[in-house]
Amino acid sequence: MDYSYAPGRNHLFVPGPVNIPEQVTRAMNRNNEDYRSPAVPAMTKTLLEDVKKIFKTTIGTPFMFPTTGTGAWESALTNTLSPGDRTVSFLLGQFSLLWIDQQQRLKFNVDVVESEWGQGANLEILASKLAADTDHTIKAVCIVHNETATGVTNNLAAVRDILDHYKHPALFLVDGVSSICALDFRMDEWGIDVALTGSQKALSLPTGMGIVCASPKALEASKTAKSVRVFFDWNDYLKFYKIGTYWPYTPSIQLLYGLRAALDLIFEEGLDNVIARHTRLAKATRLAVEAWGLKNCTQKEEWFSDTVTAVVVPPYIDSAEIVRRGWKRYNLSLGLGLNKVAGKVFRIGHLGNLNELQLLGCLAGVEMILKDVGYPVKLGIGVAAASAFLQNTIPMIPSRI
C-alpha cells in the first residue's frame, strides 16, 4: 500500500524539512476558508506581530510569502536592489553558492568572497572591500547566516561591526533559513536590513511559506529598487496591509493556522529555551562525532553550527552510501553531502521541534551505519559521549515539574 513503507517512525535528521510537531499537524488538518472573510485578516494581523519576535525585531516589517526559501531570497534581493548593483556575497557552501547564482541571474554585479568549504565568511576581505569602497558602490552585503551544506555559522554581529566601522551604508541582507528560531538571531540589534527564513526549517512546519522581514531602511530602498518583480513585490503586500485585508493573493489557510500553532509552541517553550535546546543538541552531536574519531567539516569552533553537523568520512568511504543505508535499513534520513563535499560528508540535521532522545536514537543509528560501511567504530561510543553531556545539561520540562 505504500511503496516505501517501513515499520515505526521515520527518523528525520536532514537539515530541513524537519519534524512537524503533532500540535501543528493538528492545526493544519482543516478545510479551506474564504481568505476574504474577517477571520483571516484578524489572524494574519496577530501572526505578523508575533512573527517579528522570532526575528527579534520591533521595527521590521514581515512578509509571509507562499513560496520557499529560494523565493524568499528573490524577494529580499529584488525589492532592495536594481540590476547592475554591486553586492558583496560570501561563497562557502552549496546554499550560498545558489544564492550567489541567483544574484547573478538577477543581474547584480556580485563581488564573490569565497572561502574554503568548511570555513566561515572571510570578514577580513569584507573589511578591505568596504574600506576601499569610499564611493559606496557596494549596495548590499549578502550573507548566509548558517550554511546548511557545511554546518558553518557566520558571525553576523561582526559583519555589522565592520559595516559600522566603515560607516558603510550598504544594505545587510541575511539568509536565516537554517538559523532563525534555532540560533541566536537579533535583527534589530545587528542592524540587519532583510532577514528571511522558510517554514520547513526551525519553525517545524511544512514547506510553503517564505518569511521575509524588512528593516525601515530596506523598505525605503524598495521604493527605488528597479529590479522587476510582481509576485515577490513587498509593495503589493504593503498596500493590502494598509487596507487591512493583508493578502494581495491567496494565502494557504492551513499554513497560517500551522504557523499560529508553531509560534504558540515556540513561545510556550520560550525562544531562548528553544535556542538553548539547539545549542545542547548540537554540542551532543559534535561530541559523538569526536568520539567516533571523525572530523567535523566545519574547520573552527567559532563557526560550528548548532542546527546541522556535516561529518567528514574517511576517503575510503562514500558518504552517500551512509545516507542510502540509513534509508534502506534503519528508516533514518540523513543529509547528503552536496556539490564539492558530495561523497565526502554526510549531514545530521538537529533543528526544529526535536528532543534529546530522538537525537540519541539517530546517533545510535549512525554508529551502526558506520560499522555497516566498514568504518571501525566502537558501537555506543558516540551515544555515550553525547549522553554524558546531555545527562548533565537537559533541564526539567517546565510544564511537568
Site for a copy of itself in 127-166 (CB under 8 A): none
Piece of 140-148, 180-188, 206-214, 310-318 that binds a copy of itself (CB under 8 A): 206-214
Q: How far is the CB of 328 from a copy of itself (least distance, A)?
A: 5
Q: Which is nearer to a copy of itself, 30 or 300 (CB)?
A: 30
Contact criterion met (CB below 8 Å) for 27 and 260: yes
Is the preceding omega at residue 17 within 30 degrees of 0, hence cis? yes
50 binds a copy of itself (CB under 8 A): no
Strand blocks (E) in 137-179? 138-144, 146-147, 152-153, 171-175
CA angle 265/270/155 to nearest 5° reads 115
Q: Which is nearer to a copy of itself, 120 or 251 (CB)?
A: 251
Q: How far is the CB of 275 from a copy of itself (least distance, A)?
A: 12
Q: Which is nearer to a copy of itself, 85 or 356 (CB)?
A: 356
Helix (H) or strand (E) holding 101: helix 94-105
Taking CB under 8 A as the criterion, the residue among 45, 58, 59, 83 binding a copy of itself is: 83
37 binds a copy of itself (CB under 8 A): yes
Piece of 4-12, 136-144, 148-156, 311-319 that binds a copy of itself (CB under 8 A): 4-12
CA angle 111/112/113 to nearest 5° reads 120
Length of the chain (residues): 401
Q: Which is nearer to a copy of itself, 60 or 352 (CB)?
A: 352
Taking CB under 8 A as the criterion, the residue among 48, 54, 106, 196 binding a copy of itself is: 106
Taking CB under 8 A as the criterion, the residue among 158, 188, 358, 375 binding a copy of itself is: 358
Interface with a copy of itself in residues 251-280 (CB under 8 A): 251-255, 264-265, 268-269, 274, 277
Taking CB under 8 A as the criterion, the residue among 110, 336, 345, 373 binding a copy of itself is: 336
Q: Which is nearer to a copy of itself, 158 or 384 (CB)?
A: 384
The residue among 374, 286, 380, 373 whose CA lies nearest residue 328 is 373
CA 369, CA 346: separation in Å to the nearest integer?
12
Q: Is 347 annotated as a binding residue?
A: yes
Do the strands 138-144 and 171-175 form a parallel or antiparallel pair, or are they unpaired?
Answer: parallel
Query: Around Cβ 30, how many Cβ atoms within 10 Å?
Result: 11
342 binds a copy of itself (CB under 8 A): no
CA 65, CA 209: separation in Å to the nearest integer?
6
Q: Which is nearer to a copy of itself, 238 or 384 (CB)?
A: 384
Q: How far is the CB of 215 from a copy of itself (least distance, A)?
A: 23
Interface with a copy of itself in residues 275-334 (CB under 8 A): 277, 327-333
What is the 8-class DSSP label of residue 32? -
Name the grid cell of 268: 510556550
Amino acid at 61: T
7 binds a copy of itself (CB under 8 A): yes
Residue with cell 509560534: 263
Piece of 1-9, 112-120, 158-166, 183-191 that binds a copy of itself (CB under 8 A): 1-9
Interface with a copy of itself in residues 220-239 (CB under 8 A): 227-233
The residue among 116, 93, 97 whose CA lies nearest residue 105 is 97
CA 22, CA 28: separation in Å to the nearest integer?
10
Q: Which is nearer to a copy of itself, 127 or 142 (CB)?
A: 142
378 binds a copy of itself (CB under 8 A): yes
Piece of 188-196, 202-210, 214-222, 304-312 that binds a copy of itself (CB under 8 A): 202-210
> Torsion over CA of 282, 396, 13 and 183, rounded to 10 degrees?
-50
Taking CB under 8 A as the criterion, the residue among 32, 134, 135, 315 binding a copy of itself is: 32
The residue among 194, 192, 195, 197 whose CA lies nearest residue 68 is 197
CA 52, CA 59: separation in Å to the nearest integer?
9
Could you tell me which residues are annotated as the binding site for substrate? Answer: 347
Could you tell me which residues are annotated as the binding site? Answer: 347
